[in-house]
């Protein structure tokens, strides 16, 4: 999975020079955090969420040298950085978790 995601990230960042070691680490961190939120192991990681990993890795890569900065301004231009690159995907994550939790609660009773 990580290799597939890595290729997609490189396509998205084709105009930027990417340090593979740093990108691999970012990719692993995002994947680990998403696995924790989904409540799955990396082996059971849903392929549907690979696009979220790609988006979050690109965002994390671009904020890499601005770590700790929540906002900055120069003249009339202002930037605000998010702390949690997965925050905007909370509704998708919650929907998936809720759907999977409800399917796990189904039980069969034998009489």
SS (H, E, C) the chain: CHHHHHHHHHHHCCCCCCCHHHHHHHHHHHHHHHHHHHCCCHHHCCHHHHHHHHHHHHHHHHCHHHCCCCEEEECCEEEECCCCCCHHHHHHHHHHHHHHHHHHCCCCCCC
CB 35 within 8 A of CB 42: yes
- The tokens describing 54, both together, are 């790609």
Per-residue pLDDT of the chain (111 residues), as tens digits, is 778 888 999 999 998 888 889 899 999 999 999 999 999 999 999 999 999 999 999 988 887 765 444 555 566 665 555 567 888 899 999 999 998 876 665 555 565
Contact residues for 39 (Cβ-Cβ < 8 A; gap 6+): 97, 100
């Amino acid at each position: 999975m990580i290799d597939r995601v890595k290729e997609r990230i490189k396509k998205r960042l084709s105009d930027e020079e990417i340090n593979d070691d740093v990108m691999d680490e970012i990719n692993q961190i995002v994947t680990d955090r998403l696995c924790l939120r989904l409540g799955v192991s990396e082996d059971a990681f849903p392929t549907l969420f690979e696009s979220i990993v790609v988006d979050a890795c690109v965002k994390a890569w671009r904020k890499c040298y601005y770590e700790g900065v929540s906002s900055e301004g120069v003249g009339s231009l202002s930037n605000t950085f998010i702390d949690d690159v997965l925050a905007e995907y909370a509704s998708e994550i919650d929907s998936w978790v809720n759907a999977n939790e409800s399917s796990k609660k189904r039980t069969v009773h034998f009489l």
